[in-house]
Amino acid sequence: MSGSEPTSPARSNIPRHVAVIMDGNGRWARKRSLPRHAGHRSGVKSVREVVENSARYGVEYLTLFAFSSENWRRPEEEVGMLMSLFLEALRREVADLHKNNVRLRFIGERECLDSKLNEKISNAEALTADNTGLRLQVAVAYGGRWDIVEAARSVASKVVSGEISPESIDEATFAAELQLGGAPDPDLLIRTGGEQRISNFLLWNLAYAELWFTDVLWPDFGQAEFEAALAYYSERQRRYGHTGEQLEAVKC
Ligand code: IPE
Ligand code: IPE
Ligand code: MG
């Protein structure tokens, strides 16, 4: 990884976990009279950059929304092209990610993916499993509601088998069954492309995330935008239901 040393914001208030809805590839292409796939292709460069910037700033977890459960509704040609692009990106990037100590993990409904892609995903996860740097989590064929239903199913089967009792189920035991089980909740959600919605991303895990939206389209998202999001985050007072005065009192 290359690039300049961080100058701002201060390292003291860096989010531990950043989640990103990478939106706007299609519009980026349309603005240039290019086919949508040109936008997706150009978006890969921004993925590389956000990974580098996250590592540079000491973010521990980065979760990227690459393809939603609902994106299967897109024209077959676009879906096929996106799947080929994921495969190509894995082929091209995994060695470098490994060299940079990145630990890669995929979340989503793998059964829906083609066997070649699944094999690449499993190999990439196995190769990088012991890495201790940035934890990069890529959501493919992922939906927040699907994730919650799967977790509920898993908890229910543990109850049926007698492993746990219904009374013992609490937020922590439930969260452990989710796709991101074990990872801290995202502190900061970034969405590019101008829309201010969650689009069925990490519905449970984003409960207390700080939200940062930008009109910048994903292929144009670079270090300056990432730093702007970090700067926004560093100014937030995270109250989790407390009053601001309570938090000020703790500081003194
Ligand atoms: C995000 O860009 C990529 C995926 C959802 C796969 P879009 O393809 O949604 O781009 P817009 O929103 O049409 O511009
Ligand atoms: C959200 O973008 C999903 C990803 C970025 C992978 P969409 O473009 O699919 O979202 P909507 O349909 O505009 O809500
Ligand atoms: Mg979109």
State pLDDT tens for residues 143-199: 999 999 999 999 999 999 999 999 999 999 999 999 999 899 999 999 999 999 999
The domain covering 14-143+184-251 belongs, at the CATH homologous superfamily level, to Decaprenyl diphosphate synthase-like (3.40.1180.10)
For 24, the 3-state DSSP assignment is coil
Model confidence at 8: pLDDT above 90: no
Q: Where are the domains of the chain?
A: 14-143+184-251
The two tokens of residue 75 are 């024209």
| Confidence band for 11, pLDDT divided at 50, 70 and 90 | low
Q: Pick from 149, 76, 147, 79: which is nearest to 110 by CA? A: 147
Q: Tens digit of pLDDT for each residue in 94-122?
A: 999 999 999 999 999 999 999 999 999 99
- State in Å: Cα 224 to ligand 1 middle: 21
Closest residue by Cα to atom 1, ligand 1, is 23
| Confidence band for 2, pLDDT divided at 50, 70 and 90 | very low
- Tell me whether residue 118 is one of the annotated catalytic residues: no
Task: Tell which one of 22, 67, 68, 217 to mutate to probe ligand 2, the residue whose CB is within 8 A of the most ligand atoms.
Answer: 68
Name the pTM for this structure: 0.95
CA torsion, points 225, 96, 14, 213, in degrees to nearest 10? Answer: 30
Mean pLDDT over each residue of the chain, to the nearest integer: 95
Q: Is the CB of 199 under 6 A from ligand 1?
A: no
Q: Tens digit of pLDDT for each residue in 27-56?
A: 999 999 999 999 999 999 999 999 999 999
C-alpha distance from residue 134 to each of 16, 61, 69, 246 (Å): 10, 6, 26, 33
Q: Is the CB of 64 under 6 A from ligand 1?
A: no
Q: Is the CB of 219 under 6 A from ligand 1?
A: no
